[in-house]
């Protein structure tokens, strides 16, 4: 019986992506949603939606029984798992089949075989696929772990056997760090995947991360659809992906594709899957993992092959043979950038809040797969990825240029993102030359790469535009003397003043509309050759020193965002009359994001050293350490393990030691 209605057991961008192809194929769509996602775009776009009570993944998207019940309740006849959550859970796949539903994925046995990285490595080794040396850490005490790590050779990688996405992974360069790394990886893996099994593996320094897309049907066909290079990563999570890999020649491509097909056939694979490899600096590949699902980065393969991989998944699940793919060739170059809500300058700290505006220009050759819209809320419960922005071009350089321009031209207001980092990487000489590996972001100056695209001069111009837009907005709302511009003065004295904060700094703009024209001073310095062509609350057309530019301005309360060809700047207008005593005491350490206190490592009265871990938080399924800013003594511990905290909540107060003297 042909498919008629598909439930996507996922959320955000991948749910919208699957729904898009379902609509094109005439299939009905069903969403499941948590309370945190009740107003999310993917819920609105589905034909029907079923609530999963709660917000945490363990209560919602990881509850296979609730998802199966939702499929039956809504009349769906098939379940697409997307990626993450239950997508590689063999028990869930079997439960879907046992309920009489179609599972849009590989057989549960294939998922089981590859679901454990340890078991998968053993299977690949038996099949003759090169693998890295490693050992299961289960049941090993610290002395045994140390012995095994010594045998493997440092650096070693502590790695979760279940799941992926960089969670439950730690690089260990010395014996003294091994015990803490294993404990931390086990906790994170348990939280993210419900399985704390970890293993040790030889860590290959500066490798490339290259993966092969495979597709197989139930009629005996299994093909490889070329490779993707996913080497630019942070925290072992991919940031930029591209196809084809600039480091793979025809001989290596053939070798990788043959190995990937052999791996898929070894487990009786059907549907879409990905076989991942690390490729050392010597060009030798080693099996990393097989992901028995659709990958986040699957669109780059779609752009260079012209295929719709979700459509192929649906056809295979419905019992159809794959179309003839023998003539599929690589065409041009495609690159995907993962746009995250995070602060790269602060260790890629996840960001939460309301996205007041999300607009990404889709020029020729640009594709946007987004999980959010303007007004969406980024919660602390799920992955911080907002959207995937892709570009396709005839060459790698052209694709890089198109993608950088699309990102630079995006309007992203309300939550800090990694946009500027992505643009700077795509425009860097190292990227354009193909000098890329998994340590790319570690080898380059992260502070420089994550610096705002808007330089100091742009900030001053943006502050001026913000002030003029604010004045125009006030004038538009005025009921008296509406014909005069706000800030107009009949006498030459008396400038209107407004102060904006930008991180730790302040910018003061003083302006006046006089008979001779507009006068502007920024931080006490006059702007030369100023001419205001037009100004509204949303856009300012301003000429300075003979150069005319347009500035888009958006405001929400005290917050103001200015976008132009010079970059983007987010200001907060300073309170004219701030509350006295509203600041925190010196040495007060606060939560950088909403989350759960996993561990408190100090007690009141304890002496601490600069950089020492005091509290560990978990947010967006990742652990984040709060460290002592300097040597001192713990004056107060406010939180305890298991406690939920909001962003900015007081955690610990450290009395900083006085400098000798």
SS3 call for 149: helix
Which residues, in sequence order, are CB contacts of 26 under 8 Å at separation 6+? Answer: none
Edge-to-edge strands, sheet with 505-514: 525-526, 517-522, 505-514, 496-502, 567-573, 559-564, 547-556, 539-544, 531-535
Q: What pLDDT is attached to residue 236?
A: 83
- Return d(Cα 457, Cα 549) in angstroms, integer: 13
Output the six-digit token pair for 467.
Answer: 């002030």
Domain 456-573 classification at class level: alpha beta
Q: Is the pLDDT of residue 200 over 50?
A: yes
- Return d(Cα 359, Cα 618) in angstroms, integer: 30
Give CATH for domain 133-202: 3.30.1490.20
Q: Is the pLDDT of residue 577 over 60?
A: no
Please name the fold of domain 5-104: Rossmann fold (3.40.50)
Q: Is the pLDDT of residue 535 over 90?
A: yes
- Return d(Cα 658, Cα 158) in angstroms, integer: 39
Higher pLDDT, 635 or 498: 498
Residue 327 class from Cβ within 10 Å (0-12 exposed, 13-18 middle, 19+ buried)? exposed
Q: Is the pLDDT of residue 242 over 70?
A: yes
CA proximity to 32, closest of 24, 21, 189, 18: 18
What pTM was computed for the model? 0.85
Q: What angle in degrees, to the nearest 10, is found between the helix axes of 108-115 and 90-98?
A: 170
SS3 call for 144: helix
- Please say whether the beta carbons of 329 and 402 come within 8 A: no
Q: What pLDDT is attached to residue 190?
A: 86
Q: Is the pLDDT of residue 661 over 50?
A: no
Q: Is the pLDDT of residue 520 over 90?
A: yes
Q: What pLDDT is attached to residue 656?
A: 85
CA proximity to 560, closest of 646, 626, 471: 471
Q: What pLDDT is attached to residue 598?
A: 87
Q: What pLDDT is attached to residue 356?
A: 95
pLDDT tens digits, 390-438: 999 999 999 999 999 999 999 999 999 999 999 999 999 999 999 999 9
pLDDT tens digits, 125-146: 888 788 888 898 988 999 999 9
Q: What pLDDT is attached to residue 50?
A: 98
Q: Do the first three CATH levels of 5-104 and 456-573 match, i.e. the same topology?
A: no
* Mean pLDDT to the nearest integer, 233-238: 90
Residue 411 class from Cβ within 10 Å (0-12 exposed, 13-18 middle, 19+ buried)? middle
Per-residue confidence band for 256, with pLDDT thresholds at 50, 70 and 90: very high
* Mean pLDDT to the nearest integer, 254-273: 94
Domain positions in the chain are: 5-104, 133-202, 208-449, 456-573, 588-656
Q: Is the pLDDT of residue 584 over 70?
A: no
Q: What pLDDT is attached to residue 579?
A: 47
Q: Is the pLDDT of residue 24 over 50?
A: yes
- Return d(Cα 524, Cα 495) in angstroms, integer: 11
pLDDT tens digits, 305-327: 999 999 999 999 999 999 999 89
Edge-to-edge strands, sheet with 333-340: 285-291, 271-279, 208-216, 222-234, 237-243, 333-340, 385-393, 366-370
Give CATH for domain 208-449: 3.30.470.20
Per-residue confidence band for 273, with pLDDT thresholds at 50, 70 and 90: very high
pLDDT tens digits, 596-634: 898 999 999 899 988 898 998 887 667 788 888 888 899
Q: What pLDDT is attached to residue 251?
A: 94
Per-residue confidence band for 488, with pLDDT thresholds at 50, 70 and 90: very low
Residue 572 class from Cβ within 10 Å (0-12 exposed, 13-18 middle, 19+ buried)? middle
Give CATH for domain 588-656: 2.40.50.100
Q: What pLDDT is attached to residue 657?
A: 78
Please give the helix or strand (H or E) that residue 649 lies within, else none.
Answer: none
């Amino acid at each position: 019986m042909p498919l008629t209605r598909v439930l996507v057991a996922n959320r955000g961008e991948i749910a919208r992506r699957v729904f898009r192809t379902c609509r094109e194929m005439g299939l009905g769509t069903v969403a499941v949603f948590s309370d945190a996602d009740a107003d999310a775009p993917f819920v609105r776009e589905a034909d029907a939606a079923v609530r999963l009570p709660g917000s945490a993944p363990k209560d919602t998207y990881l509850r296979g029984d609730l998802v199966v019940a939702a499929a039956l309740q809504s009349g769906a006849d098939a379940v697409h798992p997307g990626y993450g959550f239950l997508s590689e859970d063999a028990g869930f796949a079997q439960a879907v089949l046992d309920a009489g539903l179609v599972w849009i994925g590989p057989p549960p046995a294939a998922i089981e075989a590859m679901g454990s990285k340890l078991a998968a490595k053993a299977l690949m080794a038996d099949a003759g696929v090169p693998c890295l040396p490693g050992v299961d850490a289960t049941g090993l005490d610290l002395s045994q772990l140390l012995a095994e790590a010594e045998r493997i050779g440092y650096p070693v990688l502590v790695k979760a056997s279940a799941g992926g996405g960089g969670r439950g992974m730690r690089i260990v360069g010395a014996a003294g760090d091994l015990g803490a790394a294993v404990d931390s990886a086990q906790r994170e893996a348990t939280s993210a995947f419900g399985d704390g099994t970890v293993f040790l593996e030889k860590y290959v320094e500066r490798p490339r991360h290259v993966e092969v897309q495979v597709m197989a049907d139930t009629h005996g066909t299994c093909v490889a659809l070329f490779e993707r290079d996913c080497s630019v990563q942070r925290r072992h999570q991919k940031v930029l992906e591209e196809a084809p890999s600039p480091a793979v020649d025809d001989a290596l491509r053939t070798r990788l594709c043959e190995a990937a097909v052999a791996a898929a056939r070894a487990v009786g694979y059907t549907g879409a899957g990905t076989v991942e490899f690390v490729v050392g600096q010597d060009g030798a590949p080693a099996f990393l993992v097989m992901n028995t699902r659709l990958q986040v980065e699957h669109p780059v393969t779609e752009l260079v092959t012209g295929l719709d991989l979700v459509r192929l998944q649906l056809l295979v699940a419905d019992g159809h043979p794959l179309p003839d793919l023998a003539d599929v060739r690589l065409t041009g170059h495609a690159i995907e950038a993962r746009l995250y809500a995070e602060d790269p300058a602060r260790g890629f700290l996840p960001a939460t809040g309301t996205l007041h505006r999300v607009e990404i220009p889709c020029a020729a050759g640009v594709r946007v797969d987004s999980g959010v819209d303007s007004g969406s809320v980024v919660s602390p419960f799920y992955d911080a990825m907002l959207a995937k922005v892709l570009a396709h071009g005839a060459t790698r350089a052209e694709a890089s240029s198109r993608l950088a321009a699309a990102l630079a031209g995006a309007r992203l207001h309300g939550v800090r993102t990694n946009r500027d980092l992505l643009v700077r990487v795509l425009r860097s000489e190292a990227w354009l030359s193909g000098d890329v590996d998994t340590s790319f972001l570690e080898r380059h100056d992260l502070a420089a790469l994550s610096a705002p695209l808007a330089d100091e001069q742009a900030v001053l111009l943006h502050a001026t535009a913000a002030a003029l837009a604010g004045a125009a907005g006030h004038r538009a709302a005025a009921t008296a003397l509406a014909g005069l511009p706000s800030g107009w003065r009949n006498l030459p004295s008396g400038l209107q003043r407004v102060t904006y904060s930008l991180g730790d700094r302040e910018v003061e703009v003083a302006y006046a509309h006089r008979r001779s024209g507009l006068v502007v001073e920024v931080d006490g310095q006059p702007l030369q050759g100023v001419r205001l062509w037009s100004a509204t609350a949303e856009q300012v057309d301003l000429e300075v020193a003979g150069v005319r530019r347009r500035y888009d301005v958006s405001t929400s309360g005290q917050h103001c965002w200015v976008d132009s060809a010079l970059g983007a700047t987010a200001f907060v207008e300073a309170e004219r009359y701030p509350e006295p005593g509203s600041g925190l005491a010196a040495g007060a350490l606060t939560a950088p994001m909403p989350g759960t206190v996993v561990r408190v490592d100090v007690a009141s009265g304890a002496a601490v050293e600069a950089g020492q871990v005091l509290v560990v938080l978990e947010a967006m399924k990742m652990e984040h350490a709060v460290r002592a800013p300097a040597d001192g003594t713990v004056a107060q511990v406010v939180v305890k393990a298991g406690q939920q905290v909001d962003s900015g909540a007081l955690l610990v107060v450290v009395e900083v030691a006085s400098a000798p003297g």
